[in-house]
Chains A and B, each alone.
Chain A
Amino acid sequence: DAKTTQPTSMDCAEGRAANLPCNHSTISGNEYVYWYRQIHSQGPQYIIHGLKNNETNEMASLIITEDRKSSTLILPHATLRDTAVYYCIVRERDTGTASKLTFGTGTRLQVTL
């Protein structure tokens, strides 16, 4: 079962920042927070992941609260191509064998003109 809670859907105007929240109140110390997105008719695409520090890459920023019970994915300047379902996933740290990704139902982000 997914260990995260996300809003079902969100809207964002093109050019504005999209802030997607995720609750993971039962996360343990050896679990990462991963974000994937799935554009229509494609396979999921990795965005970013983090353990306890905030992370930034060319796609997005990940803000994790100090208690690690929630996080926010930030797309700084959303475009129409960012319209997708965004999945927040809690993933166990690898221990010699890659751990699985357990997907929930995600947040459907609609970017509009």
Chain B
Amino acid sequence: EAGVAQSPRYKIIEKRQSVAFWCNPISGHATLYWYQQILGQGPKLLIQFQNNGVVDDSQLPKDRFSAERLKGVDSTLKIQPAKLEDSAVYLCASSLGGLSNTEAFFGQGTRLTVV
């Protein structure tokens, strides 16, 4: 089966510019996650969707980050304006979710460099 697709793979922007990342989860997966991974650290959850509703966005810097999953399938994550410290890999993951514990499948990520 097709995996989690993310684009672009790499992005370089100047600080104060805006950027958007796109994620297409595995077909049928109700749960979608966005993670931020700074070099040398483990991934940190930014936001979790169940279908098109937000389950957890407690660690999302809402003054500059936003995410949406309008039709409960694809999702976009936006940063506006970007700061130097936003340089990281942004990972999207999806899982079936629900009553049984299921694994989350991760995309390859988008590597963002803010200069």
Contact = CB atoms under 8 A, between A and B. Distances in A.
Interface of A: 2, 32, 34, 41-46, 49, 85, 87, 91, 93-106
Interface stretch (B12-20, B68-76, B78-86, B99-107): B99-107
Nearest to B92: A43
Interface residues of B, number: 32
Contact of B91 (A34, A44, A99, A105): A44
B108 A96 contact: no
A85 B93 CA distance: 18
A34 B107 CA distance: 18
* Dominant secondary structure of chain B at its interface with chain A: loop
Contact of B43 (A32, A41, A45, A103): A103
Contacts of B56: 100
B31 interface: yes
Contacts, number: 71
Contact of A91 (B31, B96, B101): B101
B104 to A, nearest CB: 6
B50 A98 contact: yes
A85 B42 CA distance: 9
B37 to A, nearest CB: 8
A86 to B, nearest CB: 11
A94 B91 contact: no
